[in-house]
Amino acid sequence: MKKGIYPGSFDPVTYGHIDMIERASKMFDKLYVSITENINKKSFFTLEERLDLLKKICQNYKNVEIVVCQNKLTVDFALELGANVIVRGLRAVTDFEYELQMASTNHQLNSNVETVFMMTNTDYSFLSSSMVKEIAYIGGNVNKFVPKIVEDKIKEKLKKA
Ligand code: PNS
């Protein structure tokens, strides 16, 4: 059984991520979407909130399982799950340096895990979770970038803040 893992902070999950999940799910018998805390980013949603949103959004992808990776290296978590391929999306040249650094570091950490890249759908090549959060903070409309369930949750969270 070919298993892959698509790790990310998904804070929040966007249509760009969902497009990646849909395409990557066709490449593997099983795809784990791993919600992983990025220690370099301050999070907006808790891991539980992100888990809940992703589970609801991905419920129709039968070979996709949403998991949370906490206090663990992605490569170690991948191998624990039996996945030896990490999938990452590349939006533009600006992503390349960060992704190269991450893929090379992961390869140094464990060369049994390979990273493969998929080009993001051009419709979403500009889209980022940070941009969505910025627009939402200022009261802009994010419905082109995230599903309604995510939009509603962002609004609810901002109201409470
Ligand atoms: O969506 P992001 O924030 O670009 O995802 C980055 C993420 C979470 C995949 C990356 O930071 C990660 O794998 N963190 C877990 C810790 C780890 O394995 N670090 C070594 C690889 S850089």
User: Mean pLDDT in runs of 10 for the chain (161 residues)?
Assistant: 97 98 98 94 95 98 97 97 98 92 98 97 94 95 97 94 79
Ligand 1 in contact with 38 (CB < 6 A)? yes
Ligand 1 in contact with 12 (CB < 6 A)? no
Residue positions annotated with a catalytic role:
17, 41, 91, 129
Whole-number pLDDT of residue 97: 95
3-state secondary structure 106-127: HHHHCCCCEEEEEECCHHHCCC
Ligand 1 atom closest to the Cα of residue 40 is 11
Q: How does DSSP classify residue 146?
A: S
Calculate how far, in angstroms, residue 159's C-alpha sits from the geometric centre of ligand 1: 29
Distance CA 29, CA 41 (A): 31
Calculate how far, in angstroms, residue 69's C-alpha sits from the geometric centre of ligand 1: 10
Residue 93 buriedness (CB in 10 A; 0-12 / 13-18 / 19+): exposed
Whole-number pLDDT of residue 161: 79
